[in-house]
Amino acid sequence: MAVAKVPDSLISAFKTRKGRTVYDGGGITPDVNVESRIFNQISGDLYAQNYIFRFVNDFVLKHDSIAPIDQFQVTDSLFDAFKTFVSLKSFDYKTETESLLTRIESSSTRESYHAAIGDQLDVIKELIKEEKKKDIDKHRSEIEEMIKVEIITRYYFQKGKIKAALQNDPEIREAIGLLENKNQYYSVLKGTYIAKIADTTHLE
């Protein structure tokens, strides 16, 4: 059930000890807005289709232990092994661009344009296919992060998963940055801080 919005006429303003103006009746509004992280299509599909899960299964069978949580990293050789694993499994996924192209093909056939543009659409499809081959490297940072968290979880369980995930959490990073900047921190307490959207995502 949605919570009813409190009418402006019923909202009261009051001051904190530091002189900051706050309002009742409206819940808590963040001082710094951090954009939600949205992973790329290939990263989401690798995870959803269990490629990362199965790769880590193989990794665990070959390694009795790993470095401590704060020291473990996905090395170049480990990432290359993941790419080889994926290629041997014939992984494929459909991009938003490909879905759009399918709709264009369908509508062009329905509207009798396909004979005129069919060859160009085929060229575009081939170009997309070639570009998709670069996607794993293009989005390596977010794929690495998922591999890292999955591996750490296997050896350090829930505690490790939480600690590893927090290392790259944009809200945690922004909060730490705010605490390390005393002037900015006190400006928040005084209500003089100018809100901004923290760009800490892996978006393209």
Phi, psi (5° rounding) for residue 97? -65, -40
* CA–CA gap between residue 90 and residue 45 (Å, rounded): 13
CA dist 26 to 5, 23, 151, 195, Å?
Answer: 7, 7, 42, 17
Half-sphere exposure of 179 (CA within 13 A, CB side): 6
Residue of 141 and 196 predicted with greater confidence = 141
In the prediction, which pLDDT does 17 show? 72
Return the closest-CA partner of residue 74 out of 56, 93, 48, 92: 56
Residue of 104 and 29 predicted with greater confidence = 104
Averaged pLDDT, 165-192: 72
In the prediction, which pLDDT does 199 show? 46
Sign of the Cα torsion 174, 177, 179, 181 reads negative
Count CB atoms within 10 A of the CB of residue 162. Answer: 15
Are 200 and 34 spatial neighbours (Cβ–Cβ below 8 Å)?
yes
In the prediction, which pLDDT does 202 show? 42
pLDDT band, residue 26 (cuts 50/70/90): low
Tell me: pLDDT of 145 over 50.
yes
pLDDT band, residue 178 (cuts 50/70/90): confident
Beta bridge pairs of residue 22: 14
Return the closest-CA partner of residue 70 out of 203, 168, 167: 167
In the prediction, which pLDDT does 12 show? 74
Phi, psi (5° rounding) for residue 34? -110, 125
Q: What is the pTM of this model?
A: 0.68
CA dist 135 to 93, 94, 155, 194, Å?
Answer: 11, 12, 29, 37
Tell me: pLDDT of 177 over 80.
no
